Chains A and B, each alone.
Chain A
Amino acid sequence: MTAKSLVVAKFEFTKTVRRKGFILGTLGLPLLLLLVVGLVLYSGAGFSTGSGNQTVGYVDGAGFVQAAPGYIPYPDQEAGKAALLGEHVRSLLVIPPDYLETGKLTIYTRDGSLLGSTGSRKSVQEFVAGNLLRYENVSDRIAEKILEPENPEVVVLDAAGNPKGDEALAGFVLPFAITLVLALGILTSSGYLMQGIGEEKESRRGEFLLSHCSAEQLLAGKILGYGAVSLLQIGVWVAIGLAVIAAGPFAALFTGMQVTWLLCAAVLYLILGYFLFAVSIACAASLATSVREAQQVSAIFTMFAVFPLVFLQLLIHDPDSLLMQALTYFPYTAPFIAMLRLTLVSVPPYEIAVSMAILVLTIVVLTRLAARIFRMGMLKYGKRATLRDVVGFLKEK
């Protein structure tokens, strides 16, 4: 890192953070999210206490349902459907005679609200389950426990068998959060980086810049500058998130939290992951002919950031599978997969060490190659660089 790289980093940072798009994205996004959450909560509350006909009609072909408030019995489907069409009920539950054998239920509705509302369907299912329990003479006390079980308390034990307390949960949540931050950081910083490089290529500014500093200095400065932009943005988001958490019921979860080696690994993966993706995206953007093309080319790398989501089910089901081990060693997926595995199971330390070593090695090699690609790519105006060109760039001294 040289003084010139710091000059470039400072320039890119100050230029970007003053942009309306950055300010809007940094402050506007969390506010928008809060607004959406507020609206959902408000509309949810409105739904549950809202006016209008909330009664459910039912046709009990199996003969086990007892009368209950909010539920109106009908002798057959025709009568039930007539009530539904006449808006005497909001929906019609049909229990066929062979229900106890097949378990199949049908709900008729006119406005489709039951199709989208899990809560409403759940209440109908609870109504049926409650009647079944009564039908089998299960006591109300037991039926209540079955229908509304208490959330179990999870106690994590340390090596000596002593409970670890709330910080264990924080230790689990935090790496997850850091993985999310890493993905967010890569997506935001890559956006700024490719836009910056794309603009410079489009305006043919690269040549002038390279007469002031070397490609290595320029590349390092840009990566540092846009990395700082990304960190600032994520910092603001995290601060707002923490403020919301502190004001809510989860504040106790993070009190007394200690920095564990898991957290250290997360931070290391965050830093290494950012450098790997930043160098790769800078190269890709320097080979494009316009900002739009830079975005398309860079998408290849940003896809890796969302890659773990594709395998999330598989990962949770079997975190130590061969595929997950392989993805732990592959540099572009290592930061995400390794962190997620670390939160789920006890990953052997040698796997993490090898994974990080591969990551560092890839960054070192890629940085050397990237400077050549970046230097030559920035000067290739108006023409898309082919694979043959890239090979030629790499052969440059």
Chain B
Amino acid sequence: MVPGHTKIYNVNYQMLTCVSARWQERACIPGPEPEPHSRDLTAAQAGLFPGISFMVTIDRNENGSDTVLHVQNLTKTFDRKTVLDTITFDVRRGEVFGLLGPNGAGKTTLIRTILDIFRPDTGEIALFGREFSDDIKDAIGYLPEEGSLDKEILVSECIRYFAELKRVDAIEKKMDEWLEKLDLLEYRNRKIQDLSKGMHRRLQFILSVIHEPDILILDEPFSGLDPLNIRTLKDILLDLSGKGTTLIMSTHQMDEVERMCDRILMLNSGKNVLYGRLDDIRKEFGLSIEVHYEGTLPHLDTVTGINDSGNYAELVVEEDTDTQALLKTLAENVKIRKFEIKQRSMNEIFIEVCRK
């Protein structure tokens, strides 16, 4: 259980979806302010309070905020090379947070520092409002991008080992549930060497979530998976997110970032180059206009960037640009076959930021 205060509320309104820390924002129909109950969660679950029609548990930090991870001026150097340079950001409870950046940007070092594998040179990291401890480690799940499991042991032994390290109760029951969910139940008593690459990845995922972590850090979670498995894993991640698990995803797949993330942090050469809500960042980077044409493009004053391929061009314009006037100018100079205005993709933003 997350360090902090667990409170039980007697809530007499209908709740249609899973209760999570995000319920006030999107998941539930808000009702009257719930009354705090002084009893503990275990007693309530045991049915000692028949008057409770629905139970909401909200774990708050000791300081009462919804920030589960706070990183302040984090700096880390290796052999005189600054790998992380005064990084500051917050991750809020229940959100899907994207950690982006090109190879060598410092993402893995940042993750390892959050996990207390590396210690920062300067700066501070607070998880659930506290410094790192063994209890906090048990509240975090981590799926690394690479690394294989011990091939000589059984799938069940592997799960049991990692679950015991995270002090999980009722391991066998949870193991079977997760194996079934990820379509691996028939491999329960098979050696890991019998698993395909995709199965191996799914098993790694089970190991990172079997202890029901409050924060799940995923490094390229979809790498090595086929589209079907990507779909399954994505559904599970969204389900976990819906239940209040905070997801921190490090990935290069920008389409997944666009679909899943609420906020992002982009690193480049160890520096924070983008941080904030996805919508705000896209607004900041203006609009993209896709033009299919015949002829020669004229000089366009209102365009801030252009990627011209001869008869196809991507134009970058400010959010408040008069696109109708731009269309008119283009139509006067070239034969237009297609003119599509859209928000700039994260892929474009990623490339632009990394090139700077």
Contacts and interface: CB of A to CB of B under 8 A. Distances in A.
B148 A8 contact: no
B121 to A, nearest CB: 8
Contact of A210 (B117, B162, B167): B117
Given A7-B161, A375-B117, A212 B147 contact: no
Contact of B147 (A8, A11, A204, A213): A204
B204 A208 contact: yes
Interface string A375-397: 10001000000001100100011
Given A7-B165, A214-B134, A396 B119 contact: yes
A208 B147 contact: yes
Interface residues of A, number: 28
B117 A207 contact: yes
A211 interface: yes
Contact of B152 (A4, A11, A15, A396): A15
Interface string B124-138: 000000000010010
A286 to B, nearest CB: 13
A204 B137 contact: no
Given A208-B142, A212-B166, A11 B117 contact: no
Nearest to B161: A11
Contacts of B106: none
Say what secondary structure dominates the interface of chain A. helix
Contacts, number: 65
Contact of B137 (A7, A211, A392): A211
A205 interface: yes
A211 B217 CA distance: 10
Contacts of A206: 147
Interface in B138-175: 140, 142, 144, 146-150, 152-153, 161-162, 164-167
Interface string A60-78: 0000000000000000000
B8 interface: no
Nearest to A196: B150
Nearest to A11: B161
Contacts of B150: 15, 199, 203, 205
The CB with the most chain B CB atoms within 10 A, among A210, A379, A389, A392, is that of: A210
Nearest to A372: B119
Contacts of B79: 388-389, 392
Given A7-B164, A392-B78, A211 B204 contact: no
Given A211-B117, A211-B137, A396-B119, A205 B164 contact: no
A379 B119 contact: no
B115 interface: yes
Nearest to A391: B79
Interface string A176-217: 000000000000000000000001000111111011111100
The CB with the most chain B CB atoms within 10 A, among A211, A375, A379, A388, is that of: A211
Contacts of B117: 207, 210-211, 215, 375, 379
Contacts of B162: 212
A8 B112 contact: no
Contacts of A213: 137, 165
Contacts of B146: 204
Contacts of A203: 147-150
A212 B165 contact: yes
Interface string B102-132: 0000000000100111110000000000000
Given A208-B142, A208-B144, A397 B119 contact: yes
The CB with the most chain B CB atoms within 10 A, among A2, A199, A212, A214, is that of: A212
B276 to A, nearest CB: 27
A206 B204 CA distance: 14
Nearest to A221: B165
A205 B161 contact: no
A207 B117 CA distance: 8
Nearest to B164: A7
A2 B137 CA distance: 14
The CB with the most chain A CB atoms within 10 A, among B150, B165, B167, is that of: B165
A4 B165 contact: yes
A20 to B, nearest CB: 10
B24 to A, nearest CB: 31
A15 B142 contact: no
B98 to A, nearest CB: 20
A214 B119 CA distance: 12
A207 B112 contact: yes
A205 B142 CA distance: 12
A206 B142 CA distance: 13
A28 B152 CA distance: 22
B115 A205 contact: no
A210 B116 CA distance: 9
Given A15-B152, A205-B149, 7 more contacts: A3-B167, A7-B165, A8-B165, A203-B147, A205-B147, A208-B149, A379-B117
Nearest 3 CB-CB pairs, A to B? Answer: A211-B142, A204-B147, A397-B119
Interface of A: 2-4, 7-8, 11, 15, 19, 199, 203-208, 210-215, 375, 379, 388-389, 392, 396-397
27 contacts: A2-B134, A4-B165, A7-B161, A19-B152, A203-B149, A203-B150, A204-B144, A204-B146, A204-B147, A204-B148, A205-B148, A206-B147, A208-B142, A208-B144, A208-B204, A211-B115, A211-B140, A211-B142, A211-B144, A212-B137, A212-B162, A212-B166, A215-B117, A379-B117, A389-B79, A392-B78, A396-B119
